[in-house]
Amino acid sequence: MTDLNTQAELVRRSLKRRYRKERRFRAYGIVAVGVALLALITLFSDIIGKGYTGFLKTTVTLEVNLDPELMYLDDASDKDALRMADFKAPLLAALRQELPDATTSREDTRALGGLLSGYAANELQDRVAADPSLLGTRQVMTFLAHGNVDVYNKHAGETAYSIKLTPQQQQWVDTLKANNVVNTEFNDILFVHGDSREPANAGVAGAMVGSLLTMLVTLLLSFPIGVSAAIYLEEFAPQNRLTDFIEVNINNLAAVPSIIFGLLGLAVFINLFGMPRSIPFVGGLVLTLMTLPTIIIASRAAIKSVPPSIREAAEGIGASKMQVVMHHVLPLAMPGMLTGSIIGMAQALGETAPLLLIGMVAFIVDVPDGLFDAATVLPVQIFLWAGSPELGFIERASAAIMVLLAFLISMNALAIWLRKRLERRW
Amino acid sequence: MNMHMEHPELEYGKTVGNAFSADPKFSLRDVEVYYGDTQAIKGISLDIARNEVISFIGPSGCGKSTFLRCLNRMNDSIDICSVRGRLELDGRDLYDPKQDVVELRARVGMVFQKPNPFPKSIYDNVAYGPRIHGLANRKAELDEMVENSLRKAGLWNEVKDRLDRPATGLSGGQQQRLCIARTIAVSPEVVLMDEPCSALDPIATARIEELISELSENFTIIIVTHSMQQAARVSDRTAYFHLGHLVEVNETNKVFTAPEHSLTESYITGRFG
Amino acid sequence: MTTKQEQVYGDHISQQFNEDLSDLKSEFLRMGGLVESQLNDAVRALIDNDGHLAEKVRAGERVVDQLEMEIDEEAARIIVRRQPAARDLRLVVAVIKMVADLERVGDEAKKIAEFALSLSEEGRAPRGYVEVRYISNHVATMLHDALDAFARLDWELALRVMREDERVDEEYQAAARALLTFMMEDPRNISRCMAVMWVLRALERVGDHACNIAENVIFMVKGKDVRHTSVEEAEKLIHAKRK
C-alpha cells in the first residue's frame, strides 16, 4: 500500500515536471510564431507604407484656350500641320493664367513647363487630333504633373526624397494646390501604361500582361507534362535502375539554381533554335523547365497518397490499369497535383534570374500583344525600377511589388479554392 | 495418442483430409508462390467445388491471403512475386499468357479486409463495375442492376432513398455490404473475401455472414478469416494453412470437432497462434 | 489429475482456459467417485441387510444431483466463454453426456438401496444374492474402469469396458433364469425374487451406463463416434489411420 502511495507521489511529481516542460515548449512555439508574424508585418507595413503613394498621381487641371493662332495650327485634320503645331503654348498660357506672378522670361517659361509632364503636349495633340472641332474653343482639361511635382506633392518634407523643384516652382505648386489646380488622384496610369522614362507616366500593365502570358505558357506546358510524367513514373514505369536514376535527377533538378535554367534557355531556345529574345513564349519555356521538377514531385506525392485500398477495389472489380488511374487515382490526386502546380507557378511568377538571361529585361513601353511580342514581367520590372535613379520610380517599384503580391495571393487563393472544391466532390 | 506434443514435420505438398472434388470450379495443383527468394506458398494442391463456401484459416503469415490473391491474380501488381504450378478455373489456366486479367477479375471478384468504397455516390459505386465492363446499354438497365445487387447485398432498403449520397457516409458494416454489392454487380462466378469482417462489429459481422450464406446459392465463395467461429459458421469446408503449407482441408464440422492433423488441432483449440 | 491429462488439455495459451477445463474434469471425477461409492454402499446394504447404510445411500443421492447440476453449469460456461474446438469441444460435450449417465447410475444405486430397505424389513433372503454380488462386482469394476479410462484418456481400457458390457448382459440373462427356477420351486419366493430381479436389472443398467461412459471416452480421445456399433466395428474405426 505504501509502495503504491509512493508510486502515485512519484507520478504526480513527474507529472508536474512534464506539464512544465509542455508549457515551456508551447511558449517557445508562440514566440516563434510571433517573430514570424512580426517579420511579416514589418515587411508589409514597409512595402505598403512606401508604396501606397505609387497608387496616387498628381494632376494639373487647366482651362486651355485652343487658339489656332497661338498654336500655329489652322486645320486640325491636316496631319502635317498637326505635327508642326505648337501644343506647348496653350498649356503655358493656361498656367500663366493661374500663376499671374510668372514672367515671360526664358527661366520662368522653362520652370513653368517643368511643372507639367513631358507628355502633356503630346496628350493635348492627341486629343485635338481625335476631335478637330475642339480647335478654337476653351476646354477644361486634366494633365499629368511632372514627376518632380509629383514627388514634391506627395513627399514634401520627407528626408528620403530630395525635392528637385526650384523654390519658385515649389511656391507655384503650393499656389496651384491651394487653387485646386493641382490635385492628387488614383493612379490609373499604373495599370494601363507600360514602362516609361518618366516615373509619372510609367505603369505595370506591360509587365502584368507579360507575366500573364509567360505564366500561361508555363501552365499549359508544365502541368500536362508534369502530371503525365508523374503518372508514368508512379503507375507504369518498371522499378529498375533507370527509373531510380530518373527519380534522383528530378529531385536534383528541383534544387538547381534558377539562373542555370536561364542559361539553358539562352543556349537552346535562343541560340540553337533561333527564337527571338525577350518574348513571353521563351520565358514560359524556361520557367516550364524550372517548374517541372516541382510539379512532378508534388504530383507523385499526391498519387502516392491515394489509398491503395481504392486501387485494389477497382482492380478487384476488373478495371484495367488505365481505368484505375483515370477513374480513381487521378481524381483523388488532383487536388494535391493542382496545389503543387500552383505553388510551382507562384514560384515561377516571382522568378527574375532566368528571365534576365533571355532578354526579358529590356525597356519595353508597349503592352505586349501576344506570345511573340517583346515583353517584360513583374519581378523584372520591379528590379528595373528599384535600380533606376529617378525618385518617382522607387514608390512605383513598391506599388509593383504590391501588385505582384496580390497576384501571388490570388493564385494561392485559387489553389485553396480549387482544392476545397475538388475535395468536396465526395 | 501422443499427438499433442510432437509436431510432425510438415511434409511438402502433403495435405490431410479431403482436398479434391469431382466437379471443381478451381483446380489448383502444386501451387508455389515466391516473393523474391522466399517461398510463401509451398506446393499446395486443392480443388474448390462449385457453389461451395470454403474458408481459409491459419496463423498470421501462413500464406492464406497470398494464396487467395493468386486466384484472381491480384499478386500480379507485385513485381517480385512469382506464381508457379497449375491453377485452373473451369479447366482453363489462370496464368496462361492469353488469359486476360481484366476478364478474369470480372469472373472472380474480390472483397477486401477494410471496406473500401470509392469516394463517389452509392449508386456510382455499384454501377462502376457494370459500366466499365459495358454490361448495361441503357440507364434503366443499369438502374435495375444496381437495385438487384443492393438487394442481394441486403442493403437496398437502407439506401434506396439516398443513392446519390456519398458512400463514405455509410457505417462500416453498410460500406462492406456496399463493397459486396459492388463486387456482385458484375455477376462474378466466384467471390474472394479477404477477412471481410475484421473491421466490423458483431452485428454487422452477423449481417455479412448471413449474406454469405445467401450468396452461396449463386456464387462460389472463398473466405479468409481469422475468426474460427466465423469459419465454423459460414463455410462448408475449412482449410488450415501453416507456414505456407496447406495442412488440412475437410468438412468444417469435422475440422472443428475432430481435426486429423495435430497442427490444426493445436491451432483451433488455441494452443498456439 | 494425471500428467497426461495436463499435457493434453493443459497447454492452452489462455491459462484460465486450462484451469476451467481442469476444474470441469476434477468435478466430474469427484462425481464419478461419489457415484461409485453410492453403488458399492447400496449393494453392500442389500447383501449385509444394512438398513442404516441404505438410508445413507438415499441421502447421498441429493449430493449427486447437486454435482450434476454444477458440472452442467460449468460446461455451459466453458462453451459460452471459450468456444472450445476439437478435443476441448469433445471433452466438454462428452462430460455433459457422461454426467447424465453418472446421474442415472446414482438413481440406480438409490433404487437398489430402496430394495435393500424393503427387503431388510422382510428378513434375510439368501436366494439370488450370489448372482447380485457377482454382477455387482463386475459392474462396479466396469464403472471404475470407465472413470479410470476418462482420467487417463485410455481408450484401450474404454474399449475393454465396452467388451465387458456384453458379458454383463449374458450374466444378467443367466441370473434371471436362475431366479426363475427359484420362483418355480417355491411360489412364496416370488415377491422377494422379483425384488432381486429388479436389483439385477438396475445393475445391468449401471453396466450400460458404464459402457456409455466408455464410448464417450473414446469419442473424447479419438474423435470417433462408436455408439450403436459393435465392439469389433468400434475397434476398426479407432484404428483407422490418422496423422
Structure-block grid coordinates of residue A34 = 510571433
Average pLDDT, chain A: 86
**Nearest residue in chain A measured CA to CA from B179:** A313
Taking an 8 Å cut-off on Cβ atoms, the answer to whether A313 and B117 are in contact is yes
Decide if C223 touches B, using CB distance below 8 A.
yes
Decide if B259 touches C, using CB distance below 8 A.
yes
| CATH code of the domain occupying B16-268 | 3.40.50.300
Task: State the average pLDDT over residues C218-237.
Answer: 85
Three-state DSSP class for residue C239: helix
Taking an 8 Å cut-off on Cβ atoms, the answer to whether A317 and B77 are in contact is no
- How far apart, in whole angstroms, are the C-alpha atoms of residue A349 and residue A337? 18
Average pLDDT, chain B: 88
Tell me the nearest-neighbour CA distance from B248 into chain A, angstroms. 28
Q: How do strand B92-93 and strand B220-224 relate by DSSP bridges?
A: unpaired
Three-state DSSP class for residue A60: strand
For every residue of chain B, DSSP letters joined together read: --TTT--PPPPTT--EE----SSEEEEEEEEEEEETTEEEEEEEEEEEETT-EEEEE-STTSSHHHHHHHTTTGGGGSTTEEEEEEEEETTEETT-TTS-HHHHHHHEEEE-SS----SSBHHHHHHHHHHHTT--SSHHHHHHHHHHHHHHTT-HHHHTT-TTSBGGGS-HHHHHHHHHHHHHTT--SEEEEESTTTTS-HHHHHHHHHHHHHHTTTSEEEEE-S-HHHHHHH-SEEEEEETTEEEEEEEHHHHHHS-SSHHHHHHHTTS--
Lowest mean pLDDT among A36-50, A164-178, C192-206: A164-178
Taking an 8 Å cut-off on Cβ atoms, the answer to whether B116 and A310 are in contact is yes
Interface list for C 93-122 with B (CB within 8 A):
none
Lowest mean pLDDT among A156-170, B139-153, B178-192, B201-215: A156-170
Query: What is chain B's length?
Result: 273
Three-state DSSP class for residue C150: helix
Model confidence at A123, pLDDT cuts 50, 70, 90, reads confident
- How far apart, in whole angstroms, are the C-alpha atoms of residue A118 and residue A417? 46
Tell me which residue of A149, A121, A47, A145 sits closest to A391, measured CA to CA: A149
Three-state DSSP class for residue A200: helix
**Nearest residue in chain B measured CA to CA from C240:** B260
Tens-place pLDDT, residues A247-304: 899 989 888 888 999 999 899 998 999 888 888 999 999 999 999 999 999 999 999 9
Task: State the average pLDDT over residues A420-425.
Answer: 72
Task: State the average pLDDT over residues B180-206.
Answer: 89
- How confident is the model at residue A54, as a pLDDT? 83
CATH 3.30.460.80 fits A205-424, yes or no: no
Query: In the CATH scheme, what is the homologous superfamily, with its name and number, of domain C13-239?
Result: Phosphate transport system protein phou homolog 2; domain 2 (1.20.58.220)
Instruction: Decide if pLDDT at B5 tops 50.
Output: no
Tens-place pLDDT, residues C135-169: 999 999 999 999 999 999 999 999 999 999 889 99
Instruction: Decide if pLDDT at C1 tops 50.
Output: no
Decide if A319 touches B, using CB distance below 8 A.
yes
Q: Which chains lie within 8 Å of chain C at 3 or more CB pairs, if any?
A: B
Give me the phi and psi of B196, to 5 degrees please: -70, -15
Instruction: Decide if pLDDT at A349 tops 80.
Output: yes
Q: Cα A210 from chain centroid?
A: 10
**Helices B172-184 & B122-132 angle (0-180, nearest 10):** 20
Rg for chain C, CA atoms, rounded: 20
Structure-block grid coordinates of residue B44 = 499446395
Tens-place pLDDT, residues B34-63: 998 889 998 999 999 999 999 999 998 888
Instruction: Decide if pLDDT at A153 tops 70.
Output: yes
Taking an 8 Å cut-off on Cβ atoms, the answer to whether B258 and C223 are in contact is yes
Q: Which residues contact A370 (CB under 8 A, 6 or more apart)?
A: A213
Rounded percentage of chain C residues whose pLDDT exceeds 90 = 53
CB-nearest partner of B4 from C7, C82, C223 = C7
Q: Cα C72 from chain centroid?
A: 17
Decide if A332 touches B, using CB distance below 8 A.
yes
Instruction: Decide if pLDDT at C178 tops 90.
Output: no
Q: How do strand B53-57 and strand B16-17 relate by DSSP bridges?
A: unpaired
Decide if C242 touches B, using CB distance below 8 A.
yes
Instruction: Decide if pLDDT at A240 tops 70.
Output: yes
Q: How many CB atoms lie within 10 A of CB A17?
A: 9
- How far apart, in whole angstroms, are the C-alpha atoms of residue C87 and residue C7? 12
Task: State the average pLDDT over residues A328-346.
Answer: 88
Taking an 8 Å cut-off on Cβ atoms, the answer to whether B116 and A315 are in contact is no
Is B266 in contact with B73 (CB distance < 8 Å)?
A: no
Task: State the average pLDDT over residues C88-107.
Answer: 94
Interface list for A 223-242 with B (CB within 8 A):
238-239
Task: State the average pLDDT over residues A411-423.
Answer: 83
- How far apart, in whole angstroms, are the C-alpha atoms of residue C66 and residue C231? 34
Task: State the average pLDDT over residues C206-222.
Answer: 93
Model confidence at B1, pLDDT cuts 50, 70, 90, reads very low
Domain ranges of chain A: 2-52, 55-200, 205-424
Tens-place pLDDT, residues A185-232: 888 888 888 888 888 788 888 889 999 999 999 999 999 999 999 999
Taking an 8 Å cut-off on Cβ atoms, the answer to whether C223 and B271 are in contact is no
Tell me the nearest-neighbour CA distance from A317 into chain B, angstroms. 6
Q: Cα B175 from chain centroid?
A: 17
CB-nearest partner of A309 from B116, B128, B129 = B116
Tell me the nearest-neighbour CA distance from A318 into chain B, angstroms. 5
Taking an 8 Å cut-off on Cβ atoms, the answer to whether B132 and A323 are in contact is yes
**Chain A residues lying within 8 Å of B130, measured CB to CB:** none
Tens-place pLDDT, residues C46-96: 888 888 999 999 999 999 999 999 999 999 999 998 889 888 999 999 999
- How confident is the model at residue A6, as a pLDDT? 84
Q: Which chains lie within 8 Å of chain B at 3 or more CB pairs, if any?
A: A, C
- How far apart, in whole angstroms, are the C-alpha atoms of residue B259 and residue B17? 9
- How far apart, in whole angstroms, are the C-alpha atoms of residue B46 and residue B250? 11
Task: State the average pLDDT over residues B64-69.
Answer: 92
Model confidence at C128, pLDDT cuts 50, 70, 90, reads low
B250: β partners:
B238
Three-state DSSP class for residue A142: strand
- How confident is the model at residue B75, as a pLDDT? 85
Structure-block grid coordinates of residue C243 = 496423422
CA dist C36 to C1, C104, C136, C158, Å?
18, 12, 11, 17
Give me the phi and psi of B78, to 5 degrees please: -95, 115
Structure-block grid coordinates of residue C31 = 462425481
- How confident is the model at residue C5, as a pLDDT? 64
Contacts 24+ apart (CB under 8 A), A404-410: A404/A349, A404/A350, A404/A378, A404/A379, A405/A47, A407/A208, A407/A211, A407/A349, A407/A378, A408/A346, A408/A349, A408/A350
Instruction: Decide if pLDDT at B256 tops 60.
Output: yes
- How confident is the model at residue C243, as a pLDDT? 38
- How confident is the model at residue A424, as a pLDDT? 58
| Residues A243-258 as b or e (16 or more Cβ within 10 Å = b) | eeeeeeebeebbeeeb
Tens-place pLDDT, residues C26-43: 999 999 999 999 999 999
- Burial category of B130 from C-beta neighbours within 10 Å (exposed 0-12, middle 13-18, buried 19 and up): buried
Give the residue ranges of DSSP H helices in A256-329.
Answer: 258-265, 280-304, 308-317, 321-323
Structure-block grid coordinates of residue C201 = 436389472
Give the CA angle between residues A83, A87, A91 to the nearest 5°. 170
Domain ranges of chain B: 16-268
Rounded percentage of chain B residues whose pLDDT exceeds 70 = 96
- How far apart, in whole angstroms, are the C-alpha atoms of residue B165 and residue A156? 66
CB-nearest partner of C86 from B16, B268, B272 = B268
- How confident is the model at residue A228, as a pLDDT? 94
Taking an 8 Å cut-off on Cβ atoms, the answer to whether B116 and A313 are in contact is yes
Q: Element (H or E) spanning A182, and its range?
A: strand A182-186
**Nearest residue in chain A measured CA to CA from B106:** A318
Locate cell 482544392: which residue? A419
- How far apart, in whole angstroms, are the C-alpha atoms of residue B228 and residue B256? 9
**Nearest residue in chain B measured CA to CA from C153:** B1
Instruction: Decide if pLDDT at B3 tops 60.
Output: no
CB-nearest partner of A316 from B110, B120, B168 = B110
Three-state DSSP class for residue A144: strand
Q: How many CB atoms lie within 10 A of CB B176?
A: 31
Give the CA angle between residues C7, C9, C10 to the nearest 5°. 65
**Chain B residues lying within 8 Å of C8, measured CB to CB:** 1, 4
Tell me which residue of C58, C57, C182, C72 sits closest to C129, measured CA to CA: C182
Cβ contacts below 8 Å, chain B against chain C, sum to 56
Taking an 8 Å cut-off on Cβ atoms, the answer to whether A317 and B120 are in contact is no
- How confident is the model at residue B4, as a pLDDT? 39
